[in-house]
Amino acid sequence: MSNTQQLNDLTTQVRRDILRMVHAVNSGHPGGSLGCTEFLVVLYQNIMERKPGFDMDGIGEDLFFLSNGHISPVFYSVLARSGYFPVSELATFRLINSRLQGHPTTHEGLPGVRIASGSLGQGMSVAIGAAQAKKLNGDKHLIFSLHGDGELQEGQNWEAIMYASAKKVDNLIATIDLNGKQIDGTTDEVLNMGSIRAKFEAFDWDVLEIKEGNNIEAIIVGLTDAKSRTGKGKPVCILLHTEMGHGVDFMMHTHAWHGKAPNNDQLANALAQNAETLGDY
Amino acid sequence: MKKYENTGSKDTRSGFGAGMTELGQKNEKVVALCADLIGSLKLDEFIKNHPERFFQIGIAEANMIGIAAGLTIGGKIPFTGTFANFSTGRVYDQIRQSVAYSDKNVKICASHAGLTLGEDGATHQILEDIGLMKMLPGMTVINTCDYNQTKAATLAIADHHGPVYLRFGRPVVPNFTPENGRFEIGKAVLLNEGNDVTIIATGHLVWEALLAAEALEEKGISAEVINIHTIKPLDEEAILKSLGKTKCIVTAEEHNIIGGLGESVARVLALHHPAPQEFVAVQDSFGESGTPEQLMEKYELNHQAIEAAVERVMKRK
């Protein structure tokens, strides 16, 4: 369990990792990664019950599944800085012969990753399967998953959302990153989804919102609340209101940095806004 | 020539159901998933005995594949069941990313494959599934020929770690392989020895190949008959050994000529032993409604078609 200062320091360092990783290979997805940094830091440091080391079955611990795999930079940084693999390995992101593929995968055996993701809309189903395996095993630990809001346009999600409530998969906390942006523009412009809350509620999920999704204290409160709602017959959905590109002023309030790397000057500017805390990789 | 006796015609999907019933008792890690086709997949007995290990997904095959992948995380061995079309083409990307690329221990079990599904017509008669599945790295692809072999394969794949596509069918067909026989993944079964031509068949065409061999014998042609139940990994050694003797091959399958067993065999020939080959397969078309027998005749997938292919290939030697 980390205190507020430690969480703040880690958050800033993860932001630096994200920026430096995508800059180094001039590719990758900084926008959504920066927006979900606080969430993943809090989840891994203060919320999930994790065992030391890594085994695929993950029996006796909480598990996390990243469905929107393109935000791999934040996932990799948080995994490395949570002890799953050496922080120095972040320097291999998207390079040939790396375990840190553009989108996360189990294929190269990277500890901390339990499913490949990248082709969108598949993670909810996988998380449900893992949750049902936990129930069969009598394992009281929880499954967490993260999904993009634009990702909800993939139909498989709604098969999964319908199933999870019908089958009372109440050991699952699925978080939707509600940043309102996708590649071609805002989610409202591309395909207006109306009220995502109303949709999840109509599918009989227990829905809660974290209005300040880039505020560490708010995330702790929200995730703690979500945990308390598990085991009551309904899957739990968190609507996490985030700002894409959070922490870098020129990357915020636009969808432009969804999948674009900063140039040298932009990187220097962005890093100046996030001073080194725990040491760069 | 060895004579094979039909010990009583049955559908291969019932062999799958019987295998699942036995697996339910033998291996507590085995779980079953179905997309609203319990009766068609013959899963009733498994569900009756192990309701907690059965997941009714509803008509949502993509979700079923994803849930199966998730169930492996926690040590389960999931067997998914639906028609072959909905097991493959409908969910290709889910299988590709969440199962094959993720190296998940999921067994994709597919009934009603090919034309012999019959009257439902081409929407349901997938003829491309072997090709789709064999192209996925790490995927084992099995197409069984009768009830006994399907049951044996169902048991065997539970002990094999890795994704498997198990293909079987709807109609009642002769049951002629040994009861409780051992199923070796990737190992061809030599059914009849011969010297003039090698007939390599899979699935429902294996029995037709045996009928063809009998008819050919009366014409003085000695046909070697090999049952290839595992299309990937392919038993190349068995194929090349037989080819060394007969110098020509006929492949027979209830699948499109493009992407099926025949093309896999042709690759082996091209790489190691160029030789004449003829294909008994669907000629790059969709199917249609009809009885299984009518369809197999119209699309030239019966023993007569195999005999004709043998005569063609022998002339090319």
E strand spans, A163-266: 172-178, 181-182, 185-186, 206-210, 236-241
| Residue B77 to residues B68, B95, B107, B203, Cα–Cα distance (Å) | 8, 15, 8, 25
Enumerate the β-bridge partners of residue A186: A181
Q: pLDDT of B200-238, one tens digit each?
A: 999 999 999 999 999 999 999 999 999 999 999 999 999
Examine the pLDDT at B39 and tell me if it is beyond 90: yes
Shortest distance, CA A125 to any CA of chain B (angstroms)? 5
Q: Provide CB contacts within 8 A for B267, sequence distance 6+.
A: none
Residue A185 lies in a domain: yes
Select the residue from A108, A124, A136, A158 to test the B interface by mutation, using most B Cβ atoms within 10 A: A136
For residue B199, what pLDDT is reported? 98
**How confident is residue A261, by pLDDT bands cut at 50, 70 and 90?**
very high
Give the CATH number, domain containing residue A155: 3.40.50.970
Q: Which helix (H) or strand (E) holds B231?
A: strand B230-232
Q: Which residues of A touch B75 (CB under 8 A)?
A: 57, 59, 133, 137
For B28, nearest residue in chain A (alpha carbons): A136
Examine the pLDDT at A193 and tell me if it is beyond 90: yes
Encoded amino acid at B224, one letter:
E
Shortest distance, CA B41 to any CA of chain A (angstroms)? 21
CB contact burial A152-188 (16+ within 10 A = b; e otherwise): bbbebbbbbbebbbebebbbbbbbbbbbbbbeeeebe
**Count of C-beta atoms within a 10 Å radius of residue B229:** 29
Shortest distance, CA A148 to any CA of chain B (angstroms)? 17
Q: Kindly indicate whether the domain formed by B10-173 is annotated with CATH number 3.40.50.970.
A: yes
The whole-chain average pLDDT of chain B stands at 98
For residue B169, what pLDDT is reported? 97
Q: Residue A140 phi/psi, 5° resolution? A: -85, 0
ipTM: 0.97
For residue B262, what pLDDT is reported? 98
For chain A, what is the domain count? 1
Q: State the DSSP code for A254.
A: S
C-alpha–C-alpha distance, residues A143 and A164, integer Å: 12
From-to residues of CATH 3.40.50.970 in chain B: 10-173
Residue A196 lies in a domain: yes
Q: Considering only the beta carbons, identify the residue of A116, A128, A162 that sits closest to B97.
A: A116
**Whether B32 contacts B46, CB under 8 Å:** yes
For residue B220, what pLDDT is reported? 97
For residue A89, what pLDDT is reported? 98
Residue A76 lies in a domain: yes
Residue A243 lies in a domain: yes
Token representation of residue A197? 């809350």
Select the residue from A70, A159, A161 to test the B interface by mutation, using most B Cβ atoms within 10 A: A159
Does the distance separating the beta carbons of A133 and B70 come in below 8 Å? yes
Owning domain of residue A256: 4-272
From-to residues of CATH 3.40.50.920 in chain B: 189-315
CATH of B189-315, one of 3.40.50.920, 3.40.50.2000, 3.40.1350.10, 1.10.1240.10: 3.40.50.920
For residue A1, what pLDDT is reported? 84
Interval A143-164 mean pLDDT: 98
Q: Considering only the beta carbons, identify the residue of B71, B75, B103 that sits closest to A129.
A: B71
Shortest distance, CA B57 to any CA of chain A (angstroms)? 7
Residue A127 lies in a domain: yes
Residue A226 lies in a domain: yes
Residue A278 lies in a domain: no
Q: Considering only the beta carbons, identify the residue of A107, A125, A126 that sits closest to B101.
A: A107
Examine the pLDDT at B122 and tell me if it is beyond 90: yes
Q: pLDDT of B254-300, one tens digit each?
A: 999 999 999 999 999 999 999 999 999 999 999 999 999 999 999 99
Does the distance separating the beta carbons of A119 and B93 come in below 8 Å? yes
Examine the pLDDT at A246 and tell me if it is beyond 90: yes
For residue B1, what pLDDT is reported? 84
The whole-chain average pLDDT of chain A stands at 98
Q: Which residues of B are catalytic?
A: 61
